[in-house]
Chains A and B, each alone.
Chain A
C-alpha cells in the first residue's frame, strides 16, 4: 500500500498529520509490535518536522509491506549543502520558531538515522529526498 501526504512549510500545527495517518494504519493492521510502530512513527514525525522547518514545502509517501516499511520525504529546496555536517549532533540552521516548538537543536537527522534501519539522503538546491527503511527486528520486541 502506498499513500502520499502534503507537508506545509512553517506550519507546526499541521505537522504530524502524515505520521498520525501512518500510525493509525499500522495500529489498525495489528501486525506490528508496539515498539516498532513507535520507532517508525517517531522517525516519520521527525522527518515531517524537518521539512516544515527547513524547506519551502514538500510531501511524504509511505509504502507498507508485510514486515518492511519505506518512508520517502521530498521537498522543493533549498537543499542541504553539506549532508555530513548536517548529520552531526548539535549542528542546526533552524529558526527561533522551531526552537519555540521544541525542535531545531540539530538532532533530527541523527534521530532518524538511529530510529530507522536505513537512511539515505539525496540533496541539491532544488530539493531533498530522504528515504528511511524499517524492518521489524530484535529491538522492537
Chain B
C-alpha cells in the first residue's frame, strides 16, 4: 500500500479537495477510457486520467477506489470537486503528463 502523503512530497502534485488524513492506495491504473478502467481496476487502486467528469466519479464509486490523479490539461469544475468531496473521493491534480506520473511513481518506489 502507498500513502498519498508520500506522493504529495513531490510538489508537482496538489490535493484539490479535503482529503482523508491517511489515504492509502494500492497500485494505479492509467487510462482516459473509463470502460477499460471498469474492466481492469481493483478496489483501492488510484486512477490516473484526464477525464474529469461525473462519469469518473461514478466509476470510482462503483469500483471502490477513492483517489483520482488528474493529469496536465484536465479541467476541473467546482461541481466535479463538490461531488468528489461528498463521495469522499480525493482529487489530486498534477502538471505531469500520464507517463510522467508513472515514471515518477516508479522512481520513488510506489510501483
Q: Which residues of A contact B (CB under 8 A)?
A: 12-13, 15-16, 19-20, 23, 34-35, 37-38, 41-42, 44-46, 49, 100-103, 105, 107-108, 111, 114-115
Interface of B is mostly: helix
B49 with A23: CB separation less than 8 A:
no
Give the distance to chain A from B102, nearest Cβ to Cβ, in Å. 19
Tell me whether B5 is interfacial, beta carbon within 8 Å.
no
On chain A, the residues within 8 Å of B56 by CB distance are 102
Closest B residue to A98 by CB, please name it: B55
- B58 within 8 Å of A by Cβ? yes
- Residues of chain B touching chain A, judged by Cβ–Cβ distance below 8 Å, are 32-39, 42-43, 49, 51, 53-56, 58-59, 61-64
Q: B34: nearest residue on chain A (CB-CB)?
A: A102
Q: Tell me the complex Cα distance, A115–B61, Å.
A: 17
Residues of chain B contacted by A115 (CB below 8 angstroms): 38-39
Q: Is the CB of A114 within 8 A of B35?
A: no
| Cα–Cα, bound, A34→B43 (Å) | 8
Whether B53 contacts A46 by the Cβ 8 Å rule is no
Residues of B within 8 A of A16 (CB): 54-55, 58, 61-62
Contacts of B54 in A (CB 8 A): 12-13, 15-16
Known: A100-B53, A102-B55. A38 touches B39 (CB 8 A): no
